[in-house]
Amino acid sequence: MPPAHLLTYAQRAAKQQNPAAKALLETVERKRSNLCVSVDVTKQADFLRIIDVVGPYICLVKTHVDIIEDFEPTVIDRLKALSTKHDFLIFEDRKFADIGNTVALQYSSGVYKISSWSHITNAHPVPGPSVITGLSSVGLPLGRGLLLLAEMSTKGNLAAGSYTDEAVNMARAHHDFVIGFIAMRRMDGLGAMEPGTDEDFLILTPGVGLDSRGDSMGQQYRTPREVVLESGCDIIIVGRGIYGKGNGIDIQAVEAQAQRYQQEGWVAYEERITSSQ
């Protein structure tokens, strides 16, 4: 059996036990898109407008709802409606990092009630396995999935070495709920892996850009080809490369960039699959 990333998305979807992982891979295959757009804007009108425009070209939207200054519960209702309209999943980039009881409450309760609408969320491994058990007590019955931050795309980050290895070990121990990683490369072979184990963790990779290699705050960018073909990652996460950095949103430009990144990511995937045959 070839490594998981050399199989097609459809083949991998058929083997997934977690509903969120299965749904994401099926969406990728159905829409021929491994693009996730990260919509980090502070006004609900811009947030929803961008998502409506990029929706046809993405498999997943990544949100930070806590930065929306004029947030109200109807934003979530409209986000869910767009998810249905354009056939994509929702990933709230919450980066939980507390004890199990606290993260369970943060996930299920409060203003945002993330577990009720976000198919996928993520967590830092730093609190240890309790962060997973706390979140899974809420999310697993709802068919949700969790990503662990095994690596990051910012210069000087501390998610490396033994920290990454332990993140992988934690994921293996909770594979029913942990569906993959935020990482810059495949995690195959890291940590304490049992010989002959057939595992398939999804790798979602931020720091993807076609026109820039970094920003003034330490972010580092790689191209879709570098991420998908050379590093074997599964989903490219793109934000400002699609909707820009300044004030005002050029809707035509946003749509053109979303289509561009979708095409570049898919071409890299097809070359990866073809090269393995």
Catalytic sites, residue numbers = 95
Distance CA 29, CA 26 (A): 5
- Tokens 């931050």: give the residue: 149
Query: Measured between alpha carbons, how far is 127 from 70 in angstroms, rounded to an integer?
Result: 32
What is the 3 state secondary structure string of the chain?
A: CCCHHHCCHHHHHHHCCCHHHHHHHHHHHHHCCCEEEEECCCCHHHHHHHHHHHHHHCCEEEECHHHCCCCCCHHHHHHHHHHHHHCCEEEEEEEECCCHHHHHHHHHCCCCCHHHCCCEEEECCCCCCHHHHHHHHHHHHHCCEEEEECCCCECCCCCCCHHHHHHHHHHHHCCCCEEEEECCCCCCCCCCCCCCCCCCCEEEECCECCCCCECCCCEECECHHHHHHHCCCCEEEECHHHHCCCCCCCHHHHHHHHHHHHHHHHHHHHHHHHHCC
Could you tell me which residues are beta bridge partners of residue 146?
Answer: 121, 178
Q: What are phi and psi of 63, to 5 degrees?
A: -120, 155
Name the packing angle between helices 74-86 and 44-54 (round to 10°): 10
